[in-house]
Chain A
Amino acid sequence: MYCNKLPDKPDDRKKIWDKVDNMARANSLWVTAYGTGCGAIELRPLHTSRFDMERFGIAMRPTPRQADVLIISGYLAVKTLKRVIRVYEQIQDPKYILALGSCTINGGMYYDSYNTLNILDRYLPVDVYVNGCMPRPEAIIDGFSLLMSKIKAGKADGWKHYMENLEYYRENQKKVIHNWDLPDYNW
């Protein structure tokens, strides 16, 4: 059983406490523990003692419901895209996507593969790309700090973009996922 209602369009009015909200959001980024592609390997040193991302308030969460950042850590196969869509749509707003590696930007070294996507932002709204193959933990930290300043400035609005242009994203997603057996929106 699931809810078939589509999400409402996001409320664009500025609120007085937005600044405070954004400050709080930027300083406690919780990441869904989900890895695709080779890149998830670099997240291990990042969240353990060597690079220790908890000093920036970034922590791993076991389920999407508790998280607000989704890291696409490398090439995304069509089969994985379907699961990622499920995970992304289950995350509560506001939510952000950090994409790592050349594979998410232009296909990287899998540009001619028959089952990996070449351009991630056609399927999901990416807030920050970190390039490299594979980006080092320092680069990922840099990506996170860019994401934080983006959130503080109130400009990390990929999730709003996704809701406003849901048809566009759905159309692209359905072009590659032929057996679409998901609900209209995965609450």
Chain B
Amino acid sequence: MDKNLQRIISESSFESDTIREDEGYLHVRVSRVHVLELLLSAKQRFDMETLQLISVVDRIEDAVFQLTWILEDSGGTSVFMISADYPRENCTVPTIGDIWPTAILFERELHEMYGIDFPGNPRQNEDFLLEDWRELPPMRRDFDTLEYSLRTYGERRKRTHTDPREYIADSIDEWDTPVPMKDFER
């Protein structure tokens, strides 16, 4: 691990657990109150210029969202990752859109997919991928996609015979249209 990465944590005034370190790579976990401070000092004092991604793991068993900010330095040689846990219920995370403008987009996606609130993000209520979604945010693990899919989009009746000839003969008039469209033979 290079010295620059080492200094980011050794010169900070608070505790951090190292999750993994490697050549040009450091991943630490800190308490959520220190995240902003660490991000800011990484950018301003240690040349971590690019925000690559903000990622989320829904750790429903521990009732937390684990957020990870992935930073890279200006030469593209070292990667610094910061993880912190936030409670799942009414999850609120400070926005970093004023430090890295790309974060506005990432946070908008997380708001739509996980329902995480980023107060201060000017665009978080705009639609990102979904249009007019009215359910629980779909990437949360307590959202049951199969149940939602069957409830909303229905299910084609499954076959009851294994013999194709019988099956086809049986199902020909059972399209889901009110007036079945005519069958056709070549």
Interface residues of A (CB under 8 A from B): 78-79, 82, 105-107, 111-119, 121-122, 125, 127, 146, 149-150, 153, 155, 157-158, 161, 164-165, 168, 175-179
Contacts and interface: CB of A to CB of B under 8 A. Distances in A.
Secondary structure call for the B interface? loop
Pairs A-B, 5 closest by C-beta atoms: A106-B156, A112-B146, A179-B132, A118-B153, A178-B132
Contacts of B89: none
B131 A118 contact: no
Nearest to B183: A155
A175 B138 CA distance: 18
Contacts of A176: 152-153
A118 B138 contact: no
B58 to A, nearest CB: 15
Contact of A150 (B134, B152, B184): B184
Given A155-B184, A179-B131, A165 B153 contact: no
Interface in B102-152: 129-132, 134-135, 138, 143, 145-146, 148-149, 152
Contacts of B130: 79, 115
Interface residues of B, number: 26
Contacts of B129: 79
B101 interface: no
Contact of A107 (B134, B153, B182): B153
A161 B138 CA distance: 35
Interface of B: 129-132, 134-135, 138, 143, 145-146, 148-149, 152-156, 175-179, 181-182, 184, 186
Contacts of B152: 175-176
Contacts, number: 78
B45 to A, nearest CB: 43
A177 B148 CA distance: 15
B179 A112 contact: no
A125 B56 CA distance: 41
B179 A165 contact: yes
16 contacts: A105-B156, A106-B156, A107-B149, A107-B153, A111-B149, A118-B153, A119-B154, A119-B155, A121-B175, A146-B186, A150-B184, A157-B181, A158-B181, A161-B179, A177-B131, A178-B134
Nearest to A105: B156
A149 B154 CA distance: 31
B184 A153 contact: yes
A153 B156 CA distance: 28
A29 B15 CA distance: 69
Contacts of A153: 184
Contacts of A164: 179
Interface centre among A79, A114, A121, A153, by most B CB within 10 Å?
A114
Contacts of B155: 106-107, 111, 118-119
A107 B131 CA distance: 20
B141 to A, nearest CB: 13
B149 A112 contact: yes
